[in-house]
Amino acid sequence: MTRSSAPGKVYLFGEHAVVYGEPAVPCAIERRARVGVEPRDDATLRVHSDDLSLDGFTVEYAGSTDGKPDIDVAESLVDAAMGYVDEAIAQVREVTGEPDAGFEVTIESDIPLGAGLGSSAAVVVAAIDAATRALGVELSTAELAERAYQTELAVQDGQASRADTFCSATGGAVRVEGSDCRAIDAPDLPLVIGFDGGAGDTGALVAGVRQLRDEYSFAADTVASIGDIVRQGETALADGDVAELGRLMDFNHGLLSALGVSGRSLDSMVWAAREAGALGAKLTGAGGGGCIVALDPTPETETALRYLPGCEDVFPAELADEGVRQLE
Ligand SMILES: Nc1ncnc2c1ncn2[C@@H]1O[C@H](COP(=O)(O)OP(=O)(O)OP(=O)(O)O)[C@@H](O)[C@H]1O
Ligand SMILES: C[C@@](O)(CCO)CC(=O)[O-]
Ligand SMILES: [Mg+2]
């Protein structure tokens, strides 16, 4: 068995706008997906993941290069659930020049699915790393990040940025603008994450923003303004000005909300954090439902979220310095 792990992430600034070439600053966090891979002697892909549960069904699927899985749930749900791993393995077959490679893939993850913490990127990065190594191919971190990006691009119908996958592959705080991806210095930030227990479909949310942006010039301006916030945020980060970072996070959330990607429970967690004295709070990732990230050096936000109806989990986010990690 070849195993790798990769971290999830939160966005300090810039999700969604980054898809249109604006900069973004995600930070890897110490919540990881671990993917174990065993090559098979046929071309079948079999995936085991206790986290892939749809409407109470735990799904275990066996896809092959030519077949669909045989599961008794709606096909769109199955496609959504298996798309990332399927496409990651397609990338592995291409980069290793082994189109008929088959695998037994086992996924364990501390990252809630579809909640804005980059579970897809972490699973994809760890899966590509483990599966290529299992076939005797060592990718550089840059090649791994590129293949992981191609995976998200394919699953999200041609609309993805390099931000999540680059951050998960390299760890740390990063800045991504188009194909320019780099590590940046970030002070130790008092990040608190609130999770409403829900999820959003990244592909659908990205498509919704694209539609607004195409239809209204003020939506396009909103996306450009998020870029301005990110640039200002970079200065605040460099200065270690945590109060300014918080104000900019608040503004970033407002613009994401205007673009239609927040929701009642995300807004309620954001307001609970602000009322508890957080320096700033915003949704993270694609939105819809899932997680917010707040900046608070005191325990107040954590306490407030813990008692907020509709907040299922709350935890401090420790930055992960290490990206992909070879486990065995
Ligand atoms: N533990 C897991 N086992 C199998 N597949 C997983 C697992 N975690 C994530 N995935 C895949 O990633 C998909 C969720 O990705 P999606 O991009 O919608 O959300 P996210 O990455 O968690 O959030 P965001 O992109 O907003 O940060 C799942 O539908 C599944 O295909
Ligand atoms: C919404 C988005 O910006 C981040 C999802 O975590 C999509 C992407 O960058 O591919
Ligand atoms: Mg994702």
Q: What is the largest CA-CA distance in the chain?
A: 58
All residues at 6 or more sequence positions from 264 whose CB lies less than 8 Å from its CB, including other chains: none
Position 65 scores a pLDDT of 46
Mark the ranges of the chain whose per-residue pLDDT is less than 70: 53-81
Residue from 10, 71, 84 whose mutation best tests the ligand 1 pocket (most atoms within 8 A of CB): 84
Bridge partners, 11 (sequence order): 26
- Annotated binding-site residues for ATP read 112-122
Considering only CA atoms, which residue is closest to atom 10 of ligand 1? 120
- Determine whether the shortest distance from the Cβ of 160 to ligand 2 is under 6 A: yes
Is residue 19 lining ligand 2, measured as CB closer than 6 Å? yes
For ligand 1, the distance from its centroid to the CA atom of residue 122, given in whole angstroms, is 8
CA–CA dist 144, 128 (Å, integer): 7
The answer to whether 106 and 49 are in contact (CB under 8 A) is: yes
- Pinpoint the alpha helices (H) of the chain: 75-96, 119-134, 141-155, 163-170, 202-215, 217-239, 242-258, 264-275, 300-306
Ligand 1 center from residue 116 Cα (angstroms): 9
Amino acid occupying residue 85: V
Q: Which ligand is nearest to the CA of 9?
A: 1
C-alpha 96: how far from its chain's center? 25
Ligand number nearest CA of 202 is 1
pLDDT tens digits for range 181-222:
999 999 899 999 999 999 998 889 999 999 999 999 999 999
| Ligand 3: centre distance to CA 279 (Å) | 26
6 lines ligand 2 (CB under 6 A): no
pLDDT digits (tens, 9 = 90+) for 125-145: 999 999 999 999 999 999 999
Nearest to 237 by CA among 282, 187, 177: 187
pLDDT at res. 56:
46
- How far is ligand 2, taken at its centre, from the CA of residue 16, in Å? 5
pTM of the model: 0.93
Is 18 a pocket residue for ligand 2 (Cβ < 6 Å)? yes
Q: Is the CB of 123 under 6 A from ligand 1?
A: yes
Return d(Cα 83, Cα 76) in angstroms, integer.
Answer: 10
| Whether the CB of 175 sits within 6 Å of ligand 2 | no
226 touches ligand 2 (CB under 6 Å): no
Q: Which domains does the chain have, with CATH numbers?
A: 2-185 (3.30.230.10), 191-317 (3.30.70.890)
Token code pair at residue 328: 């065995």
Q: Provide the 3-class DSSP secondary structure of residue 14.
A: coil
Interface pTM (ipTM) of the complex?
A: 0.98
Closest residue by CA, ligand 1 atom 30: 81
Three-state SS letters, 65-132: CCCCCCCCCCHHHHHHHHHHHHHHHHHHHHHHCCCCCEEEEEEEECCCCCCCCCHHHHHHHHHHHHHH
CA distance 100 to 5: 25
Which residues does residue 103 pair with via DSSP β-bridges, in sequence order? 39, 45
Identify the CA nearest to 88 among candidates 166, 135, 150.
Answer: 150
Q: Which residues are catalytic?
A: 164
Ligand 1 atom closest to Cα of residue 47: 4
How many angstroms separate the alpha carbon of residue 33 from the centre of ligand 3? 13
- Spatial distance between the Cα atoms of 149 and 312, rounded to a whole number of angstroms: 30
d(CA 8, CA 241): 25
Which of 326, 240, 247 minimizes the C-alpha distance to 36?
Answer: 326
Q: Give the residue, by CA position, lying nearest to ligand 1 atom 24.
A: 116
